Structure 1
C-alpha cells in the first residue's frame, strides 16, 4: 500500500506514530506543506519561520532528500498528490489549534469520500484534551487538579522506534523544494539568532541529553536564575515536534533521580498540556479574555511605551535584557518572560495582545497554546491566572534572580561597568560613579519610562475601575 504521510508539527522520524503507521503499510510519500490558507493571526512569525527552514533541512537529510516540500493550499495539494502517485492512505499527527482542527476535519472527509484511508494520531501531547476533563465532563480551569488528574494517569510509554534504513519511499519527481517555501528573511538576521541552536531531531536529542547531564540536578532552584541556564531549552524542539513529550518523559524518568528536580520538570511538561487543554476547550484563547470582566479594563494605547518595551529601551535593566535576548536569540528565559510581561501589562497598562503578538513574531518556540495561555495568565484574565494585583517589581526581581548581573550585563552591555549596587537602579547611581562606569543616564542608557511605585498604583486603580465597570 502507498501512504502519504503529511508532516506538520512532527518533524522527526522517531516516536512519530503517524509516520510509523505509514511505514508499516508499505511505501511512503513524505510531504510537508506550508499552507497558504492559514489565517494571518496563526501563521508562523519570523523567528519560527527561520527555525522551520533549518528543521526541514535536517528532516529532509534524514529522509535522504525524499521530503516533498510545497507551498499552497493543503486542501488542494494533498488530493492532487494522492491522485498523481496512486496513494491509497494518508496519515498525519493531530493539531489542536482551532483552524487546524477545522481544516483537518474537512480534508479528512474529502479524502475518505474519494476512497482513501485517512488516519490521524496523537504525536504531540501526553494526553488528548478530550480525555483530560473533570468528572462532570467540563474542562479544567485550575492547574493543580488538572496536574493531579494527569499524574494519576501518566504512565511512561516506550517511545516508538522506526528503522529508518527500511523506509520504502514512493518515487516522485517533485522539484519545488525548500527554497520555494521562502521561509528565511531577505536580510539574513536569522543566522546570528540561530547560532546557539541546532534545529532538527538530532539537535533536540542533543539538547535533552545536555540538560539531563548539566541542568536537571539543579532544576528546582536554578530554573529561576537566567544566568544559570538550568532550564532544558527544549520548547522550540517540542513546538516543531522534533522531539515528543513521551521521549522527554521517558528519558527524564530513566536518566535522572526521582527527586524534587524531576517532579518540578514534569510539572512544566504538564503545564504545556494544560495550555493545550485550554486552547482546545476555549478556542478563542488567543483573542478573548477567559475572564470576561477583563473586557472592561481601561488599557492605555501609548505607542512610545510599546516601542520602548519591544526594543529593550525601558530604562529597567532586567526588562531590557529580556527583550534584547528575545531579539538576538529568538528566546527568553522563563522567569524573565514573566517579568517583561508584568511590566508591559501592569506598569505600562498595555493590552496583553501586544505582548502576545510580539512574542509570536520573535520567539522560535511561539506556540499558540502556550503563548496565549501564558499571556492571559500574566494578565490575570486567564485560567488559574496570577491575580492582576501581583505586580513584579523589575528592580527587586533583577536583584533577586540575577544578583551578580551576569545575565543583565550580557544583554545590556552599556551597564557592564555599573557597580552591582546600582545595576537595577542606574538612575540612582551618583553621577561621578556613573560617569566612571561610562554611563550617562538619558544618553548612554535610557531613563526609566515610568516610575515603579506610581505605575503600580495606577495599575491597581485601573483594576479597581475594571471591577466597577464589570459590576455596573
Structure 2
C-alpha cells in the first residue's frame, strides 16, 4: 500500500459520541478513508460471569443508532460487525487496507486484556495504533504517578491530589462537518456488517421497559435541560435529593450517558465550572455535581490500580467477611419479595427502569448485606451488574464494598432502616404505590409496614399479607442487631488488615470513619476559628475522632449489638482517649505547654471537638437503627447512658461545658453535635 495513503478505523466501544472525541479526530486527520466501527462482542451477552439485561443492551443499541445517524449527517456511516474482536480485526485490517487503528482507552479488566491482544494483532498486520484518554477527566496512570506510585484510598486524599494537578483538559473540538468516507464497496460486500440490530434480533425475549433513551442526542438534551436552572446546578447537594422522586427524578440521570460515553465527562465538568464562576456560593465536593464526577474519577483510579477490585478474595482493600450463602434470601431480594415495601419497590424500579436513586441503592445494598440478610456484596453487585443501565465496573464494585462496610466505609453500625428511611421522604408511599401496585390501596399509615394493618384494613385494601404480598423475610430489629455483632466480630478478625489499610494512605493520616466523624464535629463546632487556631483545630478534630472507631468496635462487640452496659464504659474510654490525644496534639502544635489564653482557648475547642466526635460515634452504636428510626425506644436508654458517661467524664476534667469566653456557644454547638448522625 502507498505510504502516503491513510486508511483508518475509529473503533467505538464506549465513547459513543462525536463531541469531545480525540480518537475520532485522530482517525479523521489526513485520512483518505475512515471506517467507524463497532463490534458486537459476544462476551457481553454469552459470558455467564457478565449478564446484561435487555434494558441496558437496548440502551446501547439506541446509542449506536444515534451515532450512526450523526455519521450519516456527515457523509459517513457506522459499521456494526459481529464476532470476537480478535477474530474480526485481522480480517478487516487486510481486506480494507487499514493503516491506522484509533480508539479510546478503557481501563476495565476485560478491556485491558482485549485491547492488548488487538494491539498485538495490529502490529503483526503493520497497522499503527493510536489511543486517546477521554472516558475519564484525568489519566488515571498520571494521577497514580503523581501520588507516589499508588492510588489515593480516600476521597479526601483524592480531592487533594486533583487540586494539586489542576483542572482536567478541556473538550476537543467537534469533528468536521464532512468526514472521510469508508472505502467504496468494501464494507457493503462484508456479510458480517448488517447495521444496528434490534433487541429481538440480538436474542432477548422480553421487550425493554426503561424510560431512558440512549444516545448522544438525548445526553446533550438532558445536559441542557439540567443546566437551564443554573441556580439548581450551583446549589446541588446529592444527599439532599429525594430517593422516592420519580416524576420527575430529583437528579440529572446523566450516569447512563457517562457510562456509555454518550456524554463527555470533560464537557460536563466544563459546563459546571462555567456555572460555578457565576455563583460564588456554589456547593462543593463531595456533595456537589462536580463532586459526583470526582467520585467517579476516584473509583476509576483506585479500581484500575487494585488487584481483584471486583471481588473479596485477593482484594487488598476489602475486609474478608464470612457472609451467609443464603440463596433464598438473595432470590427474595432480587425478585422484590422481601416483604418490606420500600426495599421491594426499589428492586422493582431497578428491573423496570434499570436505574434508581443513589440513596435507594444504599437502602437495598445495606439491606442485603450488613443490615438484614447478611449476603455477600459480590452477589448484590452481580444483580446490579445485570440490571443497571448505568452499570460501571469500578463504580459498581466500589459502592458495594462501601455500603457493605467492606472497604472505604467502616461505620458498620449505621444501618438504613427498610421502614422509616423511605418514610421520611415519602410518608404517603407514592413511590411504593407506583412500583408495587398490589399495595396501591393500602392506607398511608400501613404502607411501609403492611403486616401491621388489621385484617379488615387488609381486606379493604385488596391486599392480604402472606397471600397477595409477602410477610417480612426477617425481623428487622433482631436481624440488624445480630448483624452488627457479626460485623464487629468480622472487624476484629480483620484487625491487622484494617490497621494496615483503614481507608488511609500516605496523604490521609486518618481513615474515612475518623474523617467523617471529624467533619461532622468540626462543622457543628468550629464556626470561625481564629487564624492562630484554625490549622491545629482541624488536625485536632481528626485526632480526637480517630480514637472513637476502635472503641466503637469494642462497645458493639461487648454489648451484643450496642445495647448493653459495655457501650457506656467504652464510650467513656473513647472520650478519655480522644481528649488525651487532642490535648497532646494541641500542645505539640502550639510549641509550648504554657497556659496562655491562646493555648487554653485552642485546647478547650479541641476537647469539645473530641467530645463531639466520640459521642457521635457512640450514639450511632447505642442507637444504630435510630439513624433512620428515631422512635426506636429499645435503643434510647443505652444511648442516654453513653451520653451521660461521656459528659460526666468531660465535666470531671472541668473542660466539657466551661464558662467564660465562648463557653455558651460551645455548649450549644456540642448539644447540636450530640444529635444522631443520619445516614442521609
After TM superposition, the score normalised by the length of structure 1 is 0.91
Secondary structure (helix, strand or coil) at the match of 1:155 reads: coil
Aligned to 2:518: none
Q: What does residue 35 of structure 1 align with?
A: 41
Unaligned runs of 5+ in 2: 1-5, 497-680
Task: Find the partner of 2:219 among 195, 198, 204.
Answer: 204
Equivalent pair of 1:4/1:90 in contact (CA under 8 Å): yes
In 2 relative to 1, CA 423–181 (structure 1 residues): closer, same or farther, beyond 3 Å? closer
- Asked if structure 2 preserves the Cα contact closer than 8 Å seen for 1:50 and 1:184, the reply is no
State the partner residue of 2:652: none
Q: Which of 232, 239, 260 is equivalent to 1:240? A: 260
CA distance in 2, matches of 1:398, 1:185: 37
1:5 Cα deviation from its structure 2 partner: 0.6
Deviates more, 1:427-436 or 1:261-270: 427-436
After TM superposition, the structure 1 stretch with the greater mean CA deviation from structure 2, 219-228 or 302-311, is 219-228
**Aligned position for 2:143:** 132
Deviation sequence 1:234-275 (CA, Å, 0-9, x none): 111111111110111122233464544475111111111111
Q: In the TM superposition, what is the alpha-carbon distance from 1:301 to its structure 2 partner? A: 2.2
Q: CA deviation at 1:3?
A: 1.0
Does the 8 Å CA contact 1:224/1:334 hold for their aligned counterparts? Answer: no
Alpha-carbon distance in structure 2 between the residues aligned to 1:468 and 1:403: 39
Partners of 1:345 and 1:351 within 8 A in 2: yes
Q: Deviations over 1:199-221 (max 9, x none)?
A: 10001111112222366366326
Q: What is the deviation of 1:400?
A: 1.9
The structure-2 alpha-carbon separation of the partners of 1:446 and 1:293, relative to structure 1 and needing over 3 Å to count, comes to same
Compare 178-187 and 199-208 and name the one that shifted more.
178-187
1:454-465, aligned counterparts within 5 Å?
454-465=478-489
Counterpart residue number, 1:442: 466
Count of equivalent residues: 467
1:7 maps to what in 2? 12
Q: Distance in 1 between matches of 2:38 and 2:281?
A: 40
Q: 1:42 to 1:432 in 2, by over 3 A?
A: closer
Separation of aligned partners in 2, 1:218 and 1:431: 47
Residue 428 of structure 1, CA deviation: 2.1
Taking the aligned partners of 1:151 and 1:338, their CA distance within structure 2 comes to: 28
Q: Is the 8 A contact 1:10 1:242 kept in 2?
A: yes
Consecutive unaligned residues of structure 1, counting only runs of 5 or more, are none
Any idea what the Cα deviations from partners look like across 1:130-171, whole Å, max 9, x if unmatched? Answer: 122364322111111102322443426442232452111122
Aligned to 1:23: 28
Partner of 2:384: 359
SS at 1:366's partner residue?
Answer: coil
Aligned to 2:399: 374
1:85-105: CA deviations, max 9, x gaps?
111111000001122112212
Question: Which residue number corresponds to residue 614 of structure 2?
Answer: none
2:337 alignment counterpart: 313
Task: Give 1:103's aligned residue.
Answer: 114
Q: What is aligned with 2:513? A: none
Say which of 288, 291, 301 aligns to 2:325: 301
Partner of residue 216, structure 1: 233
Match of 2:99 among 67, 77, 88: 88
Per-residue deviation, residues 441-460 of structure 1 (Å, max 9, x unmatched): 21232211101111112212
Q: Is the 8 A contact 1:50 1:183 kept in 2?
A: no
> For structure 1, which segment, 349-358 or 65-74, has the greater mean C-alpha deviation from structure 2 after superposition?
65-74
Q: Distance in 1 between matches of 2:180 and 2:199?
A: 26
Contact 1:156–1:246 (8 Å) recurs in 2: yes
In structure 2, the residue corresponding to 1:70 is in which secondary structure?
strand
**Which stretch has the larger CA shift, 321-330 or 27-36?**
27-36
Aligned to 2:569: none
1:60 to 46, 53, 68: 68
**Greater CA deviation, 228-237 or 145-154?**
145-154
Please state how far the C-alpha of 1:372 moved relative to its aligned partner.
Answer: 0.9
Tell me if the contact between 1:124 and 1:245 (Cα under 8 Å) persists in the aligned partners.
Answer: yes
Provide the secondary structure at the position in 1 that maps to 2:103. Answer: strand
Counterpart residue number, 1:176: 194
The partner residue of 1:186 within 182, 204, 207 is 204
Greater C-alpha Rg: 2
Measure the CA separation in 2 of the matches of 1:169 and 1:292. Answer: 48
TM-score (norm 2): 0.65
Match of 1:388 among 412, 433, 440: 412
Tell me, in whole angstroms, the C-alpha distance in 2 between the residues paired with 1:44 and 1:186: 10
CA offsets, 1:406-451, max 9 Å, x none?
2222112222233333222222233333433333221232211101
Q: CA deviation at 1:303?
A: 2.1
Q: SS in structure 1 opposite 2:82?
A: strand
> What displacement does 1:125 show?
0.2
Cross-structure match for 1:250? 270
Helix, strand or coil: the match of 1:30? strand
Report 1 or 2 for greater relative contact order, CA contacts < 8 Å, sequence distance ≥ 6: 1
CA deviation after TM superposition for structure 1 residue 331, in Å: 0.9
- The answer to whether the 8 A contact 2:381-2:396 is kept is yes
Q: Quick check: 1:147–1:270 contact (8 Å CA) kept in 2?
A: yes
Q: Match for 1:398 among 417, 422, 442?
A: 422
* Farther-moved stretch of structure 1 (102-111 vs 234-243): 102-111
Deviation, 1:42, is: 4.4
Moved more, 172-181 or 403-412: 172-181
The Cα RMSD (Å) is 2.5
How far, CA to CA, are the matches of 1:470 and 1:145 in structure 2?
23
* Structure 1 pair 260–400 and aligned structure 2 pair: CA distance change class (3 A): farther
Q: Which residue matches 1:146?
A: 158
SS of the residue aligned with 1:226?
coil
